[in-house]
Structures are given as C-alpha cells and as structure tokens.
Amino acid sequence: MCGISGYIGKQKLSKSLIAKTLGAMKNRGPDHQGYKKLNFGENNIYLLSSRLKIVDRNERSNQPMTIDNLTIIFNGEIYNIDEIKKTVHYYGLKLKTKSDTELILKMYKIFGTNCVKYFEGMWAFLIFDENKQIVFISRDRVGEKPIYFFKNTSNFFFGSETKFVRLLLNDYKVLNNKKIYQYLKYGYKSIEQSEESFFKNIYKISAGSNLIINRDLEIKKFTYWEPKVQENKFTESKCKELIKENFEKKIKLICNTDLKVGLSLSGGIDSNFILGFIKKKLKKNINTYSIIDTSSERYNEESLINYTIKKYGIKNKKIYLSNKIDHMPDLKKLVRYHDKPISTISLFLQSLIYKQMKNDNVKISINGNGADELFSGYYHHYNLFYNTLKKNNEKNSFLKEWNKNIYPILRNKEYKIINKKNIKSYFTLLDDKFLNLKKFKPYNDKFFTKNLLRNKMLNELLYQTVPLALIDDDLNAMYYSIENRSPFLNKDLVNISFKMPSKLFMKNAFNKYLLRLSSNKIIHDKIRLNREKKGFNASFSSIFSFNNKKFNQWFFDTDSRNQIYDFISKDFFLKKYKNNFKNDFPDMSTQSLFNICSAKIFLEELVS
C-alpha cells in the first residue's frame, strides 16, 4: 500500500514542491519516499511515490520502479501473486524481487493493458512505457484504491488523494460548490454518484477503467470491467457451496501475511462472517476492535460483541463513546486529511478504531465492505424483494414473517410500507428553506435490470454506498498508515453474486439469507440468525453535546462571514434549527447535524 502522485506536461516542478508533496504523502507510505523525472516527448513526467512496506519489505522493491523501458508507481495489493508468478515464469521472464509491483510490470510486458484482467486485488497504478511512448493508468474493478486527476490542454496532474493534486497545482483551492450543496441536502449517498470531487475540475478515475495518455496528452478511456448480471438457476445448496468455497480460498489469500492484522467487530453478520472463517478455517488469531455507544440502545451492540468474544476467546478492544470527550481535535485532523467533509458518523467512528489499531501496531485491517450490496442487507431491500415476488402465496408467506419480525424494528416510515416500489436513494437532510441554492435535484438510479432489488443493489455497489465507504475507509486507514482490505469484494465473489437468483437473497424475511446459510456452524446462531441491523453507527449526541458551551458557540456561529453561511441560510438556521432542531428533523437529525458540523470544519480548514 502506498501513495502515488505526479505530473505530465511541460512544466518543471521545483524540488521544494516535490518535497512538500512527498511530505503530505508520508501517512500513506512512511517507509520510503521517492520520485523520478522522465522525458515524454516534449513533456516531462514526474512520478512520486510514498511506500508502506507490506510485501517484499526490502529496498529493492521501492518505487518508482524501473525495469528495462517500463517505470511504475503503484498503490494497492495484488493477492494472487503465486498464480501470477507461474504465468510470468511460463513466458520465460525472470523476477528480481518478490514484490507485486514487479509482477504488474512483467504482466504488462506480456499482456499489455490487458494485464489487469489477471489481477486479483486492489490497485491504482501508472506505468510509463518509454518504447510505446504512452502512459497507462489503471484502477481496480470496484474502486478500492482511489486516484484523482486535474487536466487542461497542456498539463495532467494526478494523485491518490485530492490534496496531492492540489499541492502540485500550487495549493489549488477552487471549491465545487454543487458538491457541498448535494452533501448538505442529500447526504453521503450523493457523494460518489459522479466523478466530481469537492474541488472544481479535480475528478476521480472511474473504477474498473484504464486510461492511456499519449505525448499530446490525449486521453483514451477503456472500461475493462463492468457487472454482468446473468442469473442462473442455482439452488440454495449450490449458492451455499459457491460462497463457502470462495471465502475459504480468498480469505486465505487476503490474510496471507506475517504482519499484525486487525478486524472491526460489530454485532452484525459481516464482521462475524469474516471472523468465523479466519478462526475456524485458517485457525488464526486476530485482534478485534469495537465501538460501543452505551447512551443509545438504537446502536448499542455490546451484548452481541461480548457473546462473540466469549465464544471465540478472542482479544477485543472496545472504544466507548462519550460526549464528554472532546472529539473536535480528532474530527478536524481527519477532515484536513480527507480534504473533504467526513461523509458519515460511522466513518468517523471507524477512524477511532484505526487510531487504536495504530497504537497496537496493526498493519492490516480487514473489513466487511460490500456484503450488504452483494447479498441484500439493508432494510429497504425487504420492500424491493417483496415487490419482485410474483405469486400471491409467496407474498403472503413473506409478509407474515416480515410483519412479525421486521416491521416492529423499523424506524423509517417509508420502509414500513411493504408494497412501496419507489424507494428513494437519498434522504432529504436539509430542506430548501435552509439552503441558499434552491431546487437542485439528486441523481437518479441508473438502470441495469428490471428486477427492482437487483437494480438497487447494483446502484449501491457501483455508485452509492460502496464507493463512498471504500474511499473514506482508504483515507481513514492511510491516515494511520494501515492497509485496509475488503474480502467480500474479491472479483470472483462479486461475479458469482451476479449469477445467483435474486429470489434466494431472502427467505422467511431473513435478509442476507445466502450468507446466513453459508455460515452455518461457522457463525454462532445468536449472531447468524439475528435480524436487527444496528449498523456501525452512533447518535450525534453520543459524540457531541450542545451543553458544551464552546461547541455550542462554534456550531451556531453568529458571524455572517463564516463560510458555512455561503451555503446555508444563517437566519433560518439560527432561528429554526438551533431552537427546535429535533422537531424539524425527527428522523435525520443525527445525519444533518453531523454533515453541517463536518462541512463547517472543511470550509474553515480550507481558508485557514
């Protein structure tokens, strides 16, 4: 895992600017920083790398790495290195290192840009091919590793994080106001719907795509991977075996390290699924970490976490939330590092776990990203599943179990209407009366298939929840120089899930039915058959208190010059929101409060 950045164009970057940018990249790679200047026709290429040593931790694998006519900078991890080594040797090429970085170069030498089709893992890399006089950039299939760019007619800047690009642009600070409005009004699901960042003209490179840049800085974009939904007539038993076989194989690859590994443990099935396979199939010990919100029964999963700890006999460190602790310094540092507002409270909480992992010298973190979107894990999926059922007896049977087991635990009124087909992708966190820009619309779901449930899950996987979780989790982990890995998003399991009949995603009003089925005797039934989804979350009042005078004055700043009032109406906000925010936002108060708080910090930090 590393940080990468660079520049292509006629400019000459000063050594001081390079040093400043490498300094900003050090969190992503504290073990080695380096750069290389190359000629690309009449253009200069500057390649900057900051390395976190995970595989082949010798100096020989430092970056930028040049072999023959090829130079690479690479952020990520290739898991199937043994398989790739066999391919490289088959074609008669010799290896000088044990690194996945060199393997990428050798596979490129054999297969050209098609090399990415052979990789299992996560990556964002750039290869300069001196012979062909092209620059080749690739990002992994679902976007676990980010890469951003800024381009005009004569310059191309890029980096693993937007702030690297901004630094190379001499502290560029032009905001994308539309993005801030969308975040404030519609929340986290709107953030990754487009390739835009929070800064104007800085874009992310799409997941599953390759770029080829020629000497005239002309860019050709190729999509090398996209979902292919082709449901087969698999039985429950077949699906169960496919999931088990995949996870037993892939978790072994993903956990193949002699470094210390940590797991964020909740009371839910995803983290327990991973833990169960690590303990029972790999026979490995792992350090686990949990967030406990004792002030809110809505989010408190301590009893389930304690049950897991006892059953597996594992080490666990709990982080108890309290609004008496001043979380503002941590949040401000995190916002500064993310170079954007923190998307959700849950992602801020995740950073607290990484902070503890860092203290314990954990180098690799395993998470459950993608399980909800691949196997149907959200409450609104019940509505969509119900509306895909064709036969009345199937609907009646499902409705009976849903009324008994799911309806009583639902908080969202929209989800309580079981026959509701048009489930919104976004909540309106702030009405137009609070915003200075009125009546802008959210993005609509993209169409993949007529199946309502499958279509929603694909939108969440590719444009809404997963892309956001991956980018923020990457930033959280990298802030503490930890590599994060998402075993549910391995390419084979993702592709297998597209072949599984969507009618099997739920049974007897159990969501994630196939995960529950395939984890029988791996996860204890108290966890495996628990229907309530509390999520990795907390209430705003568990972290911040308006009884804290300093925080109250900062949050409800009366100074009209505060940057947040460029976006929200100061008068309406102070008169209505401050005095009666709980009544104005009975369901969304936690999200809207946190978003205002996070956006306010972002805007203040930007001009500081």
DSSP for 560-589?
A: TTSGGGGTB-HHHIIIIIHHHHHHH-TTTH
Q: Sign of the CA dihedral 358, 364, 370, 375?
A: negative
The residue from 528, 560, 581 where one domain ends is 528
Q: Which residue has the higher pLDDT, 466 or 590?
A: 466
- Cβ atoms of 200 and 49 closer than 8 Å: no
Q: What is the pLDDT of residues 268-301, one digit of tens each?
A: 999 999 999 999 888 888 999 999 998 878 889 9
Q: What is the pLDDT of residues 429-481, one digit of tens each?
A: 888 888 898 777 778 899 999 999 999 999 999 999 999 999 999 999 999 99
Q: 0.85 cut: is pTM over it?
A: yes
CATH at residue 215: 3.60.20.10
486 shares a domain with 385? no
298 shares a domain with 347? yes
462 shares a domain with 314? yes
Q: Is residue 584 pLDDT above 50, yes or no?
A: no
Residue 577 within any structural domain of the chain? no
Residue 56 within any structural domain of the chain? yes
218 shares a domain with 312? no
> What 3 state SS string does 200-239 have?
CCCEECCCCEEEEECCCCCEEEEECCCCCCCCCCCCHHHH
- Cβ atoms of 264 and 305 closer than 8 Å: no
Least reliable range by pLDDT among 453-457, 519-523, 530-534: 530-534
Residue 125 within any structural domain of the chain? yes
Residue 545 within any structural domain of the chain? no
Please give the Cα distance from 343 to 599 (Å, whole number).
Answer: 9
The arrangement of strands across the sheet holding 134-139 comes to: 65-67, 70-78, 121-129, 134-139, 209-213, 219-223
Residue 585 within any structural domain of the chain? no
Q: Which residue has the higher pLDDT, 543 or 431?
A: 543
Residue 110 within any structural domain of the chain? yes
268 shares a domain with 351? yes
275 shares a domain with 136? no
The residue from 223, 256, 287 where one domain ends is 223
Tokens representing 528 are 């495996």
DSSP string, 337-391: HHTS----HHHHHHHHHHHHHHHTT--EEE--TTHHHHHT-STHHHHHHHTT--S
Domain hosting 393: range is 380-416
20 shares a domain with 64? yes
Q: What is the pLDDT of residues 214-240, one digit of tens each?
A: 999 999 999 999 999 999 999 999 999
Q: Report cis status (omega within 30 of 0) of the bond before 146.
A: no
pLDDT band at 208 (very low <50, low <70, confident <90, very high): very high
Q: What is the pLDDT of residues 96-154, one digit of tens each?
A: 888 999 999 999 999 999 999 999 999 999 999 999 999 999 999 999 999 999 999 99
358 shares a domain with 210? no
How many structural domains does the chain have?
3
384 shares a domain with 371? no
> Would you state the pLDDT for residue 51?
82
363 shares a domain with 384? no
Residue 401 within any structural domain of the chain? yes
109 shares a domain with 72? yes
> Would you state the pLDDT for residue 58?
60
> Would you state the pLDDT for residue 590?
78
Residue 541 within any structural domain of the chain? no
83 shares a domain with 215? yes
> Would you state the pLDDT for residue 586?
41
> Would you state the pLDDT for residue 587?
42
Q: What would the mean pLDDT of 299-311 be, rounded to a whole number?
A: 93
CATH at residue 483: 3.40.50.620
Please give the Cα distance from 78 to 88 (Å, whole number).
Answer: 14
The residue from 175, 193, 223 where one domain ends is 223
- Cβ atoms of 361 and 260 closer than 8 Å: yes
